[in-house]
Structure 1
Amino acid sequence: MSPRATATLFGHAEAEASLARAFHSGRLAHAWLFCGPPGIGKATLAWRFARWVLAGGPHAKPPLHVPPEDVVFRRVAAGAHADVLELAPQAEPGKRRIIKVEEVRAARHFLALTAAEGGWRVVLVDGAEAMEAASANTILKTLEEPPPRTVLILVTDAPGRLLPTIRSRCRRLDLFPLEEGDMAACLASLLPETSEADRAALMELAEGAPGRALELAEGQGVELAKLARAVLESLPDAAGAHALADRIAGRDAALAFPAFFALLVRQLTQSVREAARGGAMPGWLATRPLAAWAEAASALTRQAQEAERLSLDRRQAVLVAMETLRGR
């Protein structure tokens, strides 16, 4: 389910309360910057806040709650509410995902209009770090001269990639990975048919990010994590590398390929970090200097990103990754 249509938010109670207090104080900031790691619920909170503002900011428990049967909820979920607009990065083959200046200009015009329903107007920018330079400069004009009764919500995993002038004109709200109890409740609710053992494994892999856990569950993340660990413990020979490439770049590659690389890099970097702190060092890690393994992790990340962005042969990318791990 998309964040736009998600009714329940797990964790982030203090963030919700802070937003509700700001609204009811009568001094609501016109621009907000929601920051935090991927998959922890930033977009879900942003849409929850947007719905609640459009509904008039009703007093509710939990804060920001708008029932799914409410007409505002249903219209926002269906993309049919006239007073809310979303901007998000668009992908083109062979190009990086960006938010184009034409879209931001349209949003600027949208905010300048009178609210169709006499209340607030909301623009939600998901993946704000993907704005191209012209887009960032255009949105800055709105931040400098905000129309009345408008809210601009910027959602980002990488606030450092935004212009300092944009950051300085937004009220920043930092979100953090969910606590174990909230994660357990979230996965029990969203993955009721998954075994308790697999949910526990997903919790460990996702590190407090429900969105990440759901991606891993959909892409057989628990099995891929075991496979990534096995690859590091015993680097496959040429035949094994080809078999691995066939498996990772097969018919489910859209999910398996990025998940496998992410889990492989995660296992590698965690092992390097633990060893650098004087912790246990697995046998495979002792075969090369830690700096070399750190460089390999960076190379693997770069290879996976390039393969996805440029639509390269995923099978070949897996084979190259195995050569990287061998130090060749």
Structure 2
Amino acid sequence: MAKEDLPEEENPFDPRRNDALLGHEEAEKVIVDAWNSKRMHHAWLLCGPKGVGKATLAYRMARFILSGGGNNAGAGLFGEQNDGLYVDPEDPVARRIAGGGHGDLKVIERQYDDKKKRLQGEITVASVRTVGNFMSKTSAEGGWRIVIVDAADELNRNAANAILKVLEEPPANAMMILVAHHPGRLLPTIRSRCRRLNLGPLQDHQVVDLLGRYCPDMDLGARDALSGLAEGSIGRALQLHEVGGLELYTELVGIIAALPNADVAAQHKFAERFSPADKDAAFATITELMHWWLARMIRFAATGQAPREVVDGELPAMQRMAAAQPLDQWLEVWEKINELMGATRGLHLDRKQALLNAFFMLEETMRT
């Protein structure tokens, strides 16, 4: 079952109610130490790759602070004692945050566009116009006022300037938590006014453990393979699982491994799956996976360091490709395929033909 099909109160992936965070104990300690020393900064910038737990940490901070310091003696993810930011999910504050009904927490994120039937591409100034007024009000429950911006690198210029104005004159007992996948896109003046915490990729075993929590019916082999595809991002692993990414990747590797002796029928059958109009997510996934596989092959060709083999047969295929042509040839092909897939998505071109053309480029390069 995909996460969007779950009833909201049962969705374990939503950081508003997710109490599972692994691998970022040092970041939590920094926050707890600041709280205990009464030196909480008015603005925090949580940086790192997508899907590693930044938003989850932001909501853990909010639960902790709005509950007056959390439940430090509570149990952690797997029953261990936890002196971090843990707050019992049944705590009244945690329940109100999970339901979006806490009066001292405001969340800024991209809004849904009813006309285009999708999320807006950026956070607009209309979404942040009330932030200053919200933060300057007296707390509804006598504590802090908190604003979470997820993600701050999605703010457009006017929205970013509105956020900056609040950061320049922070009210007392008010905090802004900015989540950023690409902090370099933020205004330098915003970055300079925040205390920055960098969250790195998770270790493979941590992704495997979290997959076991979120997807208890998934066998260990699939969890291990998904952790390899995810490269330290539990968010990416879950996203791939929702669209059958591991199965797609296994088929993709099988087609590439057959080159240069192409199985044309298999290629057509595979590419046909992405033709229907409702296969946008699947096509985006397969183009991303193809890009990722080729990037790993090129890195292997350049360094000689064999990558982790996620599915059987991909390393021998990389070895054959790397030996077939010089590195600059593969870089050129990689760029052409990326341009082709980008144009196909942007201009709504024939997806099946785009994939067949990509396979043909790979085959011809190996034969040349």
TM-score of the pair, normalised by structure 1: 0.90
Paired residue for 1:268?
A: 294
Give the partner amino acid of 1:208. Answer: G
Q: 52-61 vs 249-258, which deviates more? A: 249-258
The one of 74, 78, 99 equivalent to 2:95 is 74
| Equivalent residue, structure 2, for 1:170 | 194
- Give 2:54's aligned residue: 42
CA shift, 1:135, in A, is 1.0
Aligned match of 1:18: 30
Change (3 A) 1:115 1:327: farther
| Counterparts of 1:5 and 1:307, CA distance in 2 | 37
Q: Deviations over 1:246-294 (max 9, x none)?
A: 2134487244222212211111101100110134652234444423433
Residues 88-99 of structure 1: matches in 2 within 5 Å?
88-90=109-111, 92=113, 93=116, 97-99=121-123
Give the Å deviation of 1:105.
1.5
Q: Is the 8 A contact 2:131 2:147 kept in 1?
A: yes
**Alignment deviations for residues 115-164 of structure 1 (CA, whole Å, 9 cap, x no partner):** 11121111111121111111111111111111111111111111111111
- Give the aligned partner of residue 108 of structure 2: 87
In 1, distance between residues paired with 2:339 and 2:279?
18
The offset of 1:169, in angstroms, is 0.9
Q: Residue by residue, what CA displacement relative to the aligned partner does 1:207-240 show, whole Å, maximum 9, x if unpaired?
A: 2211111111112122112122223334557655
Matched, 1:121 2:145: yes
Q: Deviations over 1:56-96 (max 9, x none)?
A: 12350341111111111111000011111111123654996
Give 1:4's aligned residue.
16
Matched AA of 1:269: A
Equivalent residue letter for 1:274? F
Distance, in Å, in 2 between the alignment partners of 1:127 and 1:118 is: 28
Which sits farther off after the overlay, 269-278 or 314-323? 314-323
Would the aligned equivalents of 1:95 and 1:309 in 2 still touch at CA under 8 Å?
Answer: no
Change in CA separation of 1:308 and 1:197 when aligned onto 2, cut-off 3 Å: same
Instruction: Please state whether the residue corresponding to 2:94 is helix, strand or coil.
Output: helix
The one of 84, 90, 105 equivalent to 1:63 is 84
Note closer, same or farther for the CA distance 1:74–1:249 as it changes in structure 2 (3 Å cut): farther
Distance 1:58 1:169 in 2: 26
* TM-score for both structures, normalised by structure 2: 0.80
Against the structure 1 CA distance between its residues 309 and 36, is the aligned structure 2 distance closer, same or farther, given a 3 Å change threshold? Answer: farther
Contact 2:255-2:267 within 8 A present in 1 as well:
no
Q: Deviations over 1:14-69 (max 9, x none)?
A: 11111111112111111111111111111111111111111112350341111111
1:262–1:301 contact (8 Å) kept in structure 2: no
Q: In structure 1, how many angstroms separate the alpha carbons of the residues matched to 2:273 and 2:332?
A: 25
Structure 1: give runs of 5+ residues left out of the alignment: none
Q: Which amino acid aligns with 2:99?
A: A
Distance 1:290 1:79, change over 3 A: same
Does residue 1:297 correspond to 2:334, yes or no?
A: yes
AA of the residue aligned to 2:44: W
Displacement, 1:243? 2.6
Identity, % of aligned positions: 43
Gapped runs of 5+ residues in structure 2?
Answer: 1-12, 73-81, 307-317
Contact 2:204–2:228, Cα closer than 8 Å, also in 1:
no
Are residues 229 and 81 of structure 1, via their aligned partners in 2, closer, same or farther at CA, if it must alter by over 3 Å?
same
- Residue 310 of structure 1, CA deviation: 6.3
Deviation at 1:193, TM superposition (A): 0.7
Does 1:207 find its partner at 2:207?
Answer: no
Using a 3 Å threshold, how does the CA distance of structure 1 residues 309 and 130 change in structure 2: closer, same or farther?
A: farther
2-structure distance, mates of 1:96, 1:80: 23
* Partner residue in 2 for 1:194: 218
Shift of 1:300: 4.2
State whether residues 255 and 263 of structure 2, in contact with CA within 8 Å, keep that contact through their aligned partners in structure 1: no
> 1:158-178 CA distances to partner (integer Å, 9 max, x unpaired)?
111111111111111000111
Paired with 2:30 and 2:195, the residues of 1 have a C-alpha distance of 11
CA distance in 2, matches of 1:41, 1:308: 28
Q: Secondary structure at the match of 1:151?
A: strand
Task: Please give the alpha-carbon distance, in whole angstroms, between the structure 1 residues aligned to 2:330 and 2:154.
Answer: 30
More moved, 290-299 vs 5-14? 290-299
